[in-house]
Structures are given as structure tokens and as C-alpha cells.
Structure 1
Amino acid sequence: MADATAEEAEEAPKKGKAGLLIGLVLAVVAGGGGFAFTSGMLGGSAPEAPKPKMLSDGLAFVSVEPMTVAVGGPAARRYLRFRAELEVGEDYTADVEAMMPRVVDVLNTYLQSLEMEDIENPSSLLTLRSQMRRRVDLVVGGDRVHDLLIMEFVVN
């Protein structure tokens, strides 16, 4: 009796390994067949991949005139050097360039109203950028400018 249970215990792992091996072989065959079918090897045609749209397709950059602005009160007068680019749709480049005097005016006015506390915090640049972008959108129209890119922001 003890010999019978020992033989059964030895046979059980062998059956498990054989089932695992058969399952693995079937999975590889099914995967290869699926690949062959979808790639066109078995008479089907491979689907045409759409041409990816480039991120720069249809975009242009319009330079904002560099400016130097006095920041802070008379006692702590410092100067901010600022330069930016506007990311616009190619169709609106001429429109945005025509509105550039107003864009420079609104940015200059906004930057002059800042205090040093508004600029010194490292995370404030994100807020300043969004505020400037909002003002530019109001001047040129909301759908023309995709982004405002700050190229230079230096306080002396």
C-alpha cells in the first residue's frame, strides 16, 4: 500500500509537466499563426499604417520683440529681460504678426505691474506664463495662439 501511494505521487508531477509543455507549444503555435495572418503571410493583406502627424505640422513661431522692464518699487528697482515666441497655426501667422504691437503692449504692461515677490518664487513662472498667454489670447483671438514659449526671463 505504501508503495502504491509513492508511485502515484511520482506520476502526478509528470502529468503536470506534460500538460504545461503541451500548453506552451499550443500558445507559441497560436501566436505565430496570429502574427502570420495579421502580417499578410496567409493571404490577408496587412493593414496600412496611417502616416503619423508631425507635431510641427501646421505650426509656425512668431517672435515677440525682446523687452527690458523695470520691476519692483523705486527702492528696490531691478530689471527683467524678457523674450518669447508665440506658437501659432500657419494660417494665422500674418494675423498675429499684424497684432504684434498690441501683444508687446499688453505683455509690457503686465510685466511692469509685477512685484519682485511675483517673480522670485521658482514656481511662479508657470503662473506668469499662463497669465501672459491669457492676455495674448484676448488681443489676437483665442484660437490663433497655441502657446507662449518663454525664451528668456532674467532679472538683474
Structure 2
Amino acid sequence: MAEEHDTPVENEETAPKKKSKLLIFIAALLFLAGGGGGFYAVYSGMILGDDSHATEAVNHTDKDTHSDADSSGAPAMAEIAFVSVDPLVVSLIHGAARQHLRFRAELEVPLQYQSDVETLLPRVTDVLNSYLRALELNDLSDPAALVRLRAQMLRRIKVVVGDNRVNDLLIMEFVLN
């Protein structure tokens, strides 16, 4: 009888241990899910998004451009020009698969720098070609890839041409076939 009496006591002692392990597991799982959700929110720009372009457009109070600006605070169309970048076709190799990326873009530049940017267009084409050739097929599979690639290409173009000489990179064609 003493042996039977010891067995239920052991089961009662192991039951709280199982509950505490389950609680620790659930807490760890919730912690990881919350961390992953927080990372995604910050990474995708839902929280702490980069609104520097919007802030600059709203806070731009230069008297020369303010009179020509429309109600949104953006510069008037007469002050900007668009410079076409030569179309690029880049081979992307992933294992045995071979695909091509067709890329065509326009550069939004201030009117006073249009001729300077057109002069440096071969360098712009070179830096874009070099960057796009370094990409892998996996880099393009992410839904946010185009935004990230556009920012990287614009940064490289600004290094080549000058920071204040290019306002934006407009991607006209980005086709993977």
C-alpha cells in the first residue's frame, strides 16, 4: 500500500512541472511571434517609415519655387526635366535556369542640371548595369524588392552624378522573362 500511495504523490508533483514547461513554451512562442511581427512592421515601413521625401516636399519654402509650386508643395513642372536611361537587358542565372531582366528608366532632374546629367549618362548606364548584373534571381522574388532595388540604384546614380542633380529614378519597365 505504501508503494501505491507514493505513486499518486509523484504524479501530483510532475503535473505542475508540465504546466510550467507549457507556460514557458507559450511565452517563448508569443515573444518570438511579437518580435517577428515588430521586425516586419519596421522593415516594411509601417512603423518608423522613411517619410523624408514627403517632409522635404511639404517643408520646402524657397520663395522662387513656392510661387510656381502647386498646392501639394511639389515643384512646378517647368523646373524639372526627365532624362531617359538607355534600356538594359541583363541575364540572371540561377542554377540551370536562365532568365533575362528588361529594364528601362527615366531620371527626374532639375532643369538646370539636365545637360550635366545627359553628359554623364554613360556612367549612369554603367553603374546600373553593374548593379543589376550582381543581382540574383532570389533578390527579385521578394514583393518589396522593387522598392529596395530602386533606392539602391538611385543612391548609386547620385554618387556618380551628384547628390542634388537627380531628384528621383522612375522605373518605366522592369520585366523578368
For the aligned pair, the TM-score class normalised by the smaller chain equals 0.5 to 0.7
Of structures 1 and 2, the larger Rg is shown by 1
Looking at secondary structure, tell me which structure has more helix per residue: 2
TM superposition score normalised by structure 2: 0.58
* Residue aligning to 1:3: none
Tell me by how many angstroms 1:73 deviates.
Answer: 3.4
CA distance in 2, matches of 1:118, 1:74: 14
| Runs of at least 5 residues in structure 2 that lack an aligned partner in the other structure | 1-65
Q: Which runs of 4+ in 1 moved over 3 A?
A: none
Please tell me the residue identity of whatever aligns with 2:88: M
Tell me by how many angstroms 1:71 deviates.
Answer: 1.2
Identify which of 47, 56, 71 aligns with 2:92. Answer: 71
Q: RMSD over aligned Cα, in angstroms?
A: 1.4
Kindly indicate whether the alpha-carbon contact (under 8 Å) linking 1:64 and 1:100 is maintained by their aligned counterparts in 2: yes
* Total equivalences in the alignment: 107
Q: Does 1:88 pair with 2:109? A: yes
* Residue aligning to 2:120: 99
Q: Does 1:62 pair with 2:83? A: yes
| Runs of at least 5 residues in structure 1 that lack an aligned partner in the other structure | 1-49
The 5 Å alignment of 1:14-93 reads 51-54=67-70, 55=75, 56-73=77-94, 75-93=96-114
Kindly indicate whether the alpha-carbon contact (under 8 Å) linking 1:106 and 1:136 is maintained by their aligned counterparts in 2: yes
Higher relative contact order, chain-length normalized (CA < 8 Å, sep 6+): 1
Q: Does 1:131 pair with 2:152? A: yes
* Residue aligning to 1:21: none
Percent of aligned positions with the same letter in both sequences?
Answer: 53
**Secondary structure of residue in 1 paired with 2:94:** coil
TM superposition score normalised by structure 1: 0.65
